[in-house]
Each structure stands twice: as structure tokens, then as C-alpha cells.
Amino acid sequence: AQSVTQLDSHVSVSEGTPVLLRCNYSSSYSPSLFWYVQHPNKGLQLLLKYTSAATLVKGINGFEAEFKKSETSFHLTKPSAHMSDAAEYFCVVSISGGYNKLIFGAGTRLAVHP
Amino acid sequence: GAVVSQHPSRVICKSGTSVKIECRSLDFQATTMFWYRQFPKKSLMLMATSNEGSKATYEQGVEKDKFLINHASLTLSTLTVTSAHPEDSSFYICSALWGALVEAFFGQGTRLTVV
């Protein structure tokens, strides 16, 4: 069965420092993996997706994630945090490889301090 | 990117009444829409998959008679919570599938409070 574990419910960083949001997955197949961001009172926005192409995926707003099959991980990183990055981040795995059956992680709330 | 609009963003209703939530794809046609529920401090859980012109497919444990889904057009799906109870209070969010599994776009969500 597919599942997603986000290892940190809250992450707090200072503006300008690196961001690391950790995600581990479990999948019987070669998974499709996504990172979504949710700002308060807003819908979810796709940051990036991995679909069995390059293992290092670059997304919007300077975020990137690396698919590591041996570690079953798909951690999200950004070299330098900005105040506007404060939001809830979800790691998501797809059962079918597309968007039909998305399994969401519990979410990580990122706080960015001046 | 494509826009999905969800309405209302917040609703308060009395126990026993029904409330309808709309999900519209504003600039694309969506043959498939999804309805999720998000509990406080929890993740999103898929409730049902809505296909235009056919009956919705509900996930295990979701009462189809309580959560009525109608996808009457390529741009509109509705979720009706019937005979609402306080335990139905939650954040409901929809997504619409654009293209052939190209990307799913999410609405901004609806905060339902049943008093």
C-alpha cells in the first residue's frame, strides 16, 4: 500500500537560511511524487512533481526535491528561505502514477522568522 | 495556471440542515473532479472522485447518501452535505483534473461549521 510520512509537523527557520522539509514514502510501484504548498485560506499549489524522469526535480519559487529510491525519500529543499515561504507543505504520492489517487502526507508547517 | 473556484469559502449551518459547496473550473473543462476533506491538524483525505455525467466514486468509509456529489457539467461539481451534524465540521477542498492526467488544480477550500 502507498503511504507518505512527513517527518516534521513544524519547521522553523530564519529568513535567508536553508529549508529542508522531509518526506518518506512507501509504494509498491514506481511512484509519482509531488509537493504542494497551501497558504492560509488558499487552495493547494503544485510546487514540483517527480514522475520517473530526472531524480532531482526543480520547482517553482526556488524549491527542489531529490528522489532517492534507496532511502524512499523525497525531501524538499530551498537554499534561502523567504518570508513568503511560510505556509503548509504537503508531500503527496500517487497510486496510479497520475492525479487520480493522491495520498497526502500530514503536512509540515513552515515558519520563517526575520 | 488554471483556476479552480470553490464557493462558499466559509459556511455555518445548523444541525440537520443541508449545505451545498460548489467547485468550478474557470478556464478549462474538467471531466474529473475530486473532493477532499481535511480534519484539523490532519492531512487531506480523498472522499470521492466525480466524473462528468456519471455517478461519483466514493472512497471506503464515505457515506454517499450523506455526501451527495453532482458533476453535471464540465466546469461544475457540487458537494452537498445532507442532514449535517457537528462532526461534519471540517475543511472541504476540491480539485479539478486538467488534461489527460497533466495536472490537478485545487480550489481554495470551504470551511464548514455545523452548530
A81-112 residue pLDDT tens: 999 999 999 999 886 656 667 888 999 999 99
* Min distance B57 CA to chain A CA atoms (Å): 11
CA distance to partner chain A, nearest, from residue B77 (Å)? 16
- In this structure, are residues B23 and B4 in contact, taking their beta carbons and an 8 Å threshold? yes
Please report residues of B whose CB lies closer than 8 A to that of A99.
Answer: 95, 97, 101, 103-104
Would the pLDDT of A56 be above 60? yes
Q: Which chain B residue has the Cα nearest residue A109?
A: B41
Instruction: Name the DSSP letter for residue B53.
Output: T
Please give the C-alpha separations between residue B84 and each of B45, B61, B88, B94, in angstroms, as whole numbers.
Answer: 19, 17, 6, 19
Domain ranges of chain A: 3-113
Contact A98, A30 (CB under 8 A): no
Question: Any idea what the Cα angle at residue B24 is, between residues B20 and B27, rounded to 5°?
Answer: 170
Task: Kindly state the percentage of chain A with pLDDT values over 70.
Answer: 95
pLDDT for res B43: 82
pLDDT score recorded for residue B102: 62
CA distance A86 to A40: 10
Q: What is the pLDDT of residue A3?
A: 85
- The alpha carbon dihedral of B79, B83, B88, B89 has a sign of positive
Phi/psi at B86 (5° precision): -55, -35
pLDDT value of residue A74: 96
Residues in chain A with CB shorter than 8 Å from the CB of B6 are 43
Would you state the pLDDT for residue B111?
93
Q: How much is the pLDDT for A86?
A: 96
pLDDT digits (tens, 9 = 90+) for A5-34: 999 999 999 999 999 999 999 877 778 899
- Given a contact cutoff of 8 angstroms between Cβ atoms, the answer to whether B90 and B39 are in contact is yes
Say if CB B1 and CB B105 are below 8 A apart. yes
DSSP element (H, E) containing B111: strand B110-114
- Secondary structure of A34-84 in HEC code, one letter for each residue: EEEEECCCCCEEEEEEECCCCCEEECHHHCEEEEECCCCEEEEEECCCCHH
Which residues numbered 9-38 in B keep a CB inside 8 Å of some CB on A? 9, 32, 34, 36
Q: Compute the distance between CA of residue A64 and CA of residue B75 in angstroms, rounded to an integer.
A: 32
**Residue B41 DSSP class:** T
> What is the third-level CATH fold of A3-113?
Immunoglobulin-like (2.60.40)
Q: Please state, for a pLDDT cut of 90, what percent of chain A lies above it.
A: 66
Of A41, A46, A104, the CB nearest to B43: A104
Residue with cell string 491538524: B41
B32 and A44: CB-CB below 8 Å?
no
Q: Cβ–Cβ of B4/A43 closer than 8 Å?
A: yes
Tell me which residues of chain B have a pLDDT lower than 70.
1, 99-102
With a cut of 90, say whether residue A54 has pLDDT above it.
Answer: no
